[in-house]
Amino acid sequence: MTSPTDHLTDTHTSSGEVAVDDDDTAAPRPAGQRPQGRAHLLQRLLPVVVLAVLAYLPYVPVEVPGLLPGRVNGPGSLQLLATCLVVGGIALSYDVLFGRTGLLSFGHALFVAAGSYLLTISLSTWDLPLPLAVLAALGLSTLLALVVGAVALRVGGIAFAMVTLAFAQAASIIVMRNPGGVTGGEEGRPLDRDAVPDLLVGVVNAPYRYWLALGFVVVAWVAVTLLVRSRAGHAMAAVRENEQRAAVLGLGTYRVRLLALVAGSFLGALGGVVHALVLGGSNPHLTTSEFTLSLLVMVVLGGAGSRWGALLGGVLYTYADARLVEVSSSAVLQGLPDVVRQVLSQPLFILGVFFIVVVYFAPSGLTGLGGRLIRRSGSR
């Protein structure tokens, strides 16, 4: 007798095509047909090659005018790249909810901010050593995710999104009001530098903070990969495609959705911890619904349900947001007509237009578009 989860790998979409749970860009293959050896090997080696290149960047003394603020291994460039990697990993954690399980949450920022603020508070107010502070931040954030999930998942659809938004807004108000002086209010909470290793403090140690951010991306990547390929990951895909059918097959859809929310929130809290270590403190922007909406844009931009898509979308969005702010205040725009200069001086407007273009011409995101182009060139 087969168990209900044995049918999950054959989950079909409404269009009749096989749903790909992993982010393989190749088209679904007929039964019994093996992938081409060279393409399959390239697909497996690509993450290793990308990781090796990224890990070597702090040793590259090359200037890239217009793309990075100075040399590639300069403190400013490495700090920017580290921030992009951290946000990309956080976007990967949000994709566990939205892309893998179909949960539209407007409160994911709550757990990222919880990891960040609990770390800074544990170090400065509770006087915990760094390892215990990290464990406390992750443990309390996971407990918070269990409580929020247990309440919010009693409803579905837009009601679930509104409940998560309410929790996130309540947390944002608490942080802004700075109860007992523990959150810092609008100024945020600085990191107690005496409580962290010297390798993570100072301009000269920017490479170590960059490698810390890269390590977080690797951990998030491996965790999501293992989750997607597990039986729980197949159950999440079944809930995403057709929750009613999954319930008829005997799946506990409530437990599956709660597991997805807790897993994504744990990785998000870990991202908040790394974010505080990389940027030197907790930022109240992490508590806002605007940050969660940015994560949603990142995942859709790169490709929902794709590890490469979520990571790429997070990195590109964060990089463009940072660099467009500098371009909007540069002297290059002064010689342009007033209408053009006013438009280009609004980074959010440019990002919004780019997002609309990508969604219109590539509904499956940048990785989906790249996959189609690769398949077309291969067929030719």
Residue 16 has pLDDT above 60, yes or no: no
167-192 burial: b if 16+ Cβ within 10 Å, else e: bbbebbeebeeeeeeebbeeebbebb
Q: Please, which residues have CB within 8 angstroms of residue 250's CB and are 6 or more apart in sequence?
A: 3, 4
Q: What is the pLDDT of residue 343?
A: 67
pLDDT band at 329 (very low <50, low <70, confident <90, very high): low
Q: What is the pLDDT of residue 366?
A: 84
What 3 state SS string does the chain have? CCCHHHHHHHCECCCCCECCCCCCCCCCCCCCCCCCHHHHHHHHHHHHHHHHHHHHHHHCCCECCCCCCCECCCHHHHHHHHHHHHHHHHHHHHHHHHHHHCCCCCCHHHHHHHHHHHHHHHHHCCCCCHHHHHHHHHHHHHHHHHHHHHHHCCCCCHHHHHHHHHHHHHHHHHHHHCHHHCCCHHHCEECCHHHCCHHHCCHHHHHHHHHHHHHHHHHHHHHHHHHHHCHHHHHHHHHHHCHHHHHHCCCCHHHHHHHHHHHHHHHHHHHHHHHHHHHCEECHHHHCHHHHHHHHHHHHHHCCCCHHHHHHHHHHHHHHHHHHHHHHCCHHHHHCCHHHHHHHCCHHHHHHHHHHHHHHHCCCHHHHHHHHHHHHHHHC
| pLDDT over 90, % of the chain | 57
Alpha carbon distance 181, 185 (integer Å) = 8
Q: What is the pLDDT of residue 233?
A: 93
pLDDT band at 91 (very low <50, low <70, confident <90, very high): very high
pLDDT tens digits, residue range 124-152?
Answer: 999 999 999 999 999 999 999 999 999 99
Alpha carbon distance 85, 215 (integer Å) = 9
Q: What is the pLDDT of residue 33?
A: 46
Residue 313 has pLDDT above 90, yes or no: yes
| Cα dist from 14 to 19, 78, 95, 241, whole Å | 10, 45, 21, 8
Segment 304-332 shows an average pLDDT of 83
Place of tokens 């870990």: 270
Alpha carbon distance 375, 256 (integer Å) = 34
pLDDT tens digits, residue range 269-284?
Answer: 999 999 999 999 999 9
pLDDT band at 27 (very low <50, low <70, confident <90, very high): very low
Segment 147-168 shows an average pLDDT of 93
Alpha carbon distance 19, 11 (integer Å) = 6
